[in-house]
Amino acid sequence: MNIAQILKINIPAIALAVLLTTCSGTEKHKTLKLAHSLDPTHAVHKAMVYLAERLKEKSGGQLQIEIYPSGQLGSEQQCVELLQIGSLAITKISAAVLESFNEDYKVLGLPYIFRSKEHANKVLDGEIGEEILTGTEKFWIRGLCFYDAGSRSFYTIDKPIEKPDDLKGLKIRVMKSITAVNMIKTMGGSPTPISWGELYTALQSGVVDGAENNPPSFYLSHHYEVCKYYSLDEHTMVPDVLIISSIVWKKLNDQERKWLKEAVKESVIKQRMLWEESEKESLEAVEKAGVTILYPDKEPFMKKVESIYDSYKDDERLYSLIQRIRAVE
């Protein structure tokens, strides 16, 4: 959908004026609307609540955030569209979805691009991460930070995945990401892009044989009620991205941007702590519910997808980015 179509569809939404200046007695404050599709029990939502608290505290109440969880203002895609026209200030989106806006995001979804969570954090918190976050400005989107979305692994209805060959003949749900589609194809499975909201029904009805995601998402989505095998091959560590409308960003003064940046940085630390707790609790919960958790040897999976990296050799920009990420110690 182009920007003209978005503007035409969302004229009423524009009138809502997302960057509100509210008078309370003699005091004025600005309110930023933040919307997302996650459940309020999710670690990312809790980090956003912390972000709002810290921003209010740092600004003395002059800059505040109003949060709308659980898809109250629309789906992930709709939130991005509203953000692009300035009718929504902030939202959360998977890095994989941002591939269509900035090709650099493709690299973050490559299987086993990160050696460990520590390696991923060093990359995302550093120069490379900052380059990627600011690479979508021409689409009216600016990245604020990366949130930990854990490692994605396979979960299936009735067939355990212990080696890449076990994926043959299986329809595996993936995000609408070229990188994710290529990864499943390379491993031998049949990638099937399906929206997150439709996945439970797709698993239940057998439209797909399985999916891949992190432990909290597997648990909170109740997909464990249908899928009884969870193979922790941890093939990707695709982060979530907190993004702000460039239109709204430009309306903030230097001091307001400073407050927001500081609060965001603190929320990242908080979110990673919450995420670690959530992963542990989720694995314990699904195992208690009867899910068999497997820990396959990752080496065969890593060898299977190495050809994906070779396919990037003709793309000077992305191949250079891959090498830079791998060089981070």
Q: Does domain 3-149+239-280 have CATH number 3.20.20.140?
A: no
pLDDT of residue 176: 83
pLDDT value of position 31: 97
Least confident piece of the model among 48-52, 54-58, 178-182, 295-299: 178-182
What average pLDDT does range 12-39 have in this prediction?
65
Q: Quick one: pLDDT band at residue 27, thresholds 50, 70, 90?
A: low
Q: Tell me what the mean pLDDT of segment 230-254 comes to.
A: 97
| Average pLDDT, integer, range 314-320 | 95
Rounded CA-CA distance 157/207 in Å is: 11
Task: Indicate whether this model's pTM tops 0.75.
Answer: yes
Q: What is the pLDDT of residues 133-149, one digit of tens each?
A: 999 999 999 999 999 99
Residue 44, pLDDT score: 94
pLDDT of residue 15: 33
Q: Is the pLDDT of residue 195 over 50?
A: yes
Reply yes or no on whether the pLDDT at 4 is more than 50.
Answer: no
**CA distances (Å), origin 258, targets 28, 81, 108, 279:** 18, 26, 27, 32
CATH number belonging to domain 152-237+285-327: 3.40.190.170
Residue ranges of domains in the chain: 3-149+239-280, 152-237+285-327
Whether 1 shows a pLDDT value over 80: the answer reads: no
**Confidence at residue 119, expressed as pLDDT on a 0 to 100 scale:** 97
The tens digit of pLDDT for each residue in 286-309 reads 999 999 999 999 999 999 999 999
Asked if the domains 3-149+239-280 and 152-237+285-327 are classified in one and the same CATH topology, the answer is yes
Q: Is the pLDDT reported for residue 19 higher than 90?
A: no
